[in-house]
Structure 1
Amino acid sequence: MSVDIHQLRTFVEVATAGSFSAAARALGYTQSAVSQQVAALEADLGVVLLRRRPTVAVTEAGARLLEHAGPLLLRLAAARTDVVRAAGAPTERLTVAVHPLGTERLAAVLAAVLADRPRLDVRVVAAGTAEATTGVARGEFDLAVIVGLATAGDPLRLPDVGPIRAVGIAEETACLALPADHPLARSSGPRLADLVDAGWIDAPALGAALADLRVVTGERRFRARLRYDGTDLGGLLALIAAGHGLGLLPARAPRSGATTVPLRGCNLAFRAELVRTGRTTPAATAVAAALGG
């Protein structure tokens, strides 16, 4: 059986409208052309699909064909769209790794870049600093926005993964994150040195690794009550809010059940950096420039 797709579409329109004239108006054909197409389809199949009198109605064979016609026409339309899309596929792709604490900054930049490059194909991957940096070095990501804890004004300590370039793009004061009903939540600002035995949440993928805290403070006694290996900021906040341990967060980070207080005499900051290699594309260069790197 060889069915002409135009004939099939015409048959569906007549069967749905219940009228050759109505189908002709919908399709932009003459009524005679509609009748000829349906007749040709019936001749090809060797069955009567429509009764013409007293009113137009589908036969049993016509009803069976109608069941198949809808999915067939839908698949054809999908195939046509897919082929057209492939023919006009974006000529440039961009893959960016972003630390959860840097997502808001990246989102604003991407909006501006995409306004000038509407056909740019963008993939954003949430990743911790180590994963993002390694991925850039391996060529998995065109660039990365990473965030980590450092002494204010100092660069982040990055893994030795090869020739990469890191440029600071933002810095925000580190604050103590704790449950809203914690006694320290109403304090004027505790000292970090007084909290070494308080019980912390070690969250390396979220830029709050106790290993970094020990290095930048020179204090080795910080101990974790719980380790959180996720990159979901909401998950870390839920653990803090439930009293599983203290954490460090940027002053303007979401709080969601937890709260933050400033730390007295603390010179720690969450530093955001843009990580790239010498390999680049116009889109990556545009994003880097918009981020300030």
Structure 2
Amino acid sequence: MDPHLLRTFLAVAETGSFSAAAEQLRYTQSAVSQQIAALEADLRTPLLTRRPVALTPAGERLRGHASILLVRLAAARADVTRAVAPPGRLIVALTPLAWHPALADALALLRTESARLTARLRLAERDQVVAAVATGEADLGLVDGFTAPSDPLRLPDTGGARAIGVAESPAVVAVAASHPLARRRRVDLSDLADAYWIDAPAVAAHTRLPVDGLRPGLRYDGQDVTVLAGLAAAGHGLAVLPEPLVTTHPSLTGVPISAPRLVHRVELVRIPAHLTGGEPAARLAALIEHR
């Protein structure tokens, strides 16, 4: 099966529309239709109904395989590229709130060990970080999120990447120091359903919290943690943030959360099979895990 045809098929399956898939892929709608027809001819079975657009039973089965096949193809290409990469190359993808002192300390130690180290840090959203590690675009990843104590984060299945927890810290509701909530000793998130929240999907999405009904008062589409903290400090809305971050901001107060029980968790994402003892990524992973 041609991977280009599989990508087109997934785009149609995910958008539910030939025209939307064409726009996403920057193809013409007729080109998308021709590619789907070619894939169906190759497999000798219909994969999609046309009016309305929906997956057939065969299409449902193919959808389960297609994303994994494309990830593995990208991983194979990246693995070959990695074999001829310059010595000392290290690419770490991370979510904005996943930056951790252990990473800074480990990078500093690596620099003292190798003058050839060329490190690059890349900010991305959580699913993008996992995908970058799975496909080899990044050597390691650090992701974060809010979860129950000791519970792992819910990450997308990529077929190869594995995650291990490296840090947990208390989660608090960040409010302006002048906000009435700042005087509360503890707060139940379900009691704040009528409050205004800052929706910051790339940093700390309120929609990922295990509480229904929290409504956004402002949406921030950037990845700068300082901007998010500044918006909360200026009274534009509430945000759940790691306690260590809030305590460093002079105009923010962190209110402990009584329910649900939440911690801010940071996990290291890697592909064990790709980490040999001599690679910078393997050394960095070991330093972070055994900090």
TM-score range, shorter chain: 0.5 to 0.7
SS at match of 1:176: strand
Instruction: Give the conservation status (yes or no) of the 8 Å contact 2:206–2:240.
Output: no
Task: State the one-letter code of the partner of 2:287.
Answer: A
1:134 aligned to 2:131? yes
Give the TM-score normalised by structure 1. 0.64
Instruction: Give the conservation status (yes or no) of the 8 Å contact 1:90–1:120.
Output: no
Question: 1:62 corresponds to which residue?
Answer: none
Matched pairs, number = 200
The CA deviation at 1:276 is 0.8
The match for 1:241 among 224, 233, 241 is 233
CA RMSD of aligned residues (A): 1.9
Runs of 4+ displaced beyond 6 Å: none
The match for 1:119 among 116, 124, 128 is 116
The CA deviation at 1:182 is 0.1
Task: State the one-letter code of the partner of 2:237.
Answer: G
The CA deviation at 1:164 is 0.9
* Alignment map for 1:154-173 (pairs within 5 Å): 154-173=151-170
Question: 1:252 corresponds to which residue?
Answer: 244
Task: State the one-letter code of the partner of 2:99.
Answer: T
Alpha-carbon distance in structure 2 between the residues aligned to 1:158 and 1:256? 33
The match for 1:145 among 133, 142, 145 is 142
The CA deviation at 1:146 is 1.1
SS at match of 1:259: strand
Q: Which structure has the bigger radius of gyration?
A: 1
Alpha-carbon distance in structure 2 between the residues aligned to 1:153 and 1:292? 16
Task: State the one-letter code of the partner of 1:238.
Answer: G
Task: State the one-letter code of the partner of 2:274.
Answer: R
Range 261-270 or range 171-180, more displaced: 261-270
The CA deviation at 1:155 is 0.5
Task: State the one-letter code of the partner of 2:253.
Answer: T
* Alignment map for 1:201-280 (pairs within 5 Å): 201-206=198-203, 208-213=204-209, 217=210, 219-253=211-245, 254-255=248-249, 257-277=251-271, 278-280=273-275
Give the TM-score normalised by structure 2. 0.64
The CA deviation at 1:90 is 5.9
1:237-264 deviation per Cα after TM superposition (whole angstroms, max 9, x unaligned): 1111122110011111142532212122
**Gaps in structure 2 of 5+ consecutive residues:** 1-84
The CA deviation at 1:123 is 0.8
SS at match of 2:169: strand
Alpha-carbon distance in structure 2 between the residues aligned to 1:91 and 1:276? 19
Task: State the one-letter code of the partner of 1:275.
Answer: V
Alpha-carbon distance in structure 2 between the residues aligned to 1:160 and 1:236? 29
Alpha-carbon distance in structure 1 between the residues aligned to 2:275 and 2:163? 14
**Gaps in structure 1 of 5+ consecutive residues:** 1-88
Alpha-carbon distance in structure 1 between the residues aligned to 2:250 and 2:224? 12
The CA deviation at 1:133 is 1.3
Q: What is the percentage of aligned positions where both structures have the same residue?
A: 44
Change (3 A) 1:161 1:204: farther
Change (3 A) 1:211 1:199: same
Instruction: Give the conservation status (yes or no) of the 8 Å contact 2:175–2:253.
Output: yes
SS at match of 1:200: strand
* Alignment map for 1:179-218 (pairs within 5 Å): 179-206=176-203, 208-213=204-209, 217=210
Alpha-carbon distance in structure 2 between the residues aligned to 1:256 and 1:145? 27
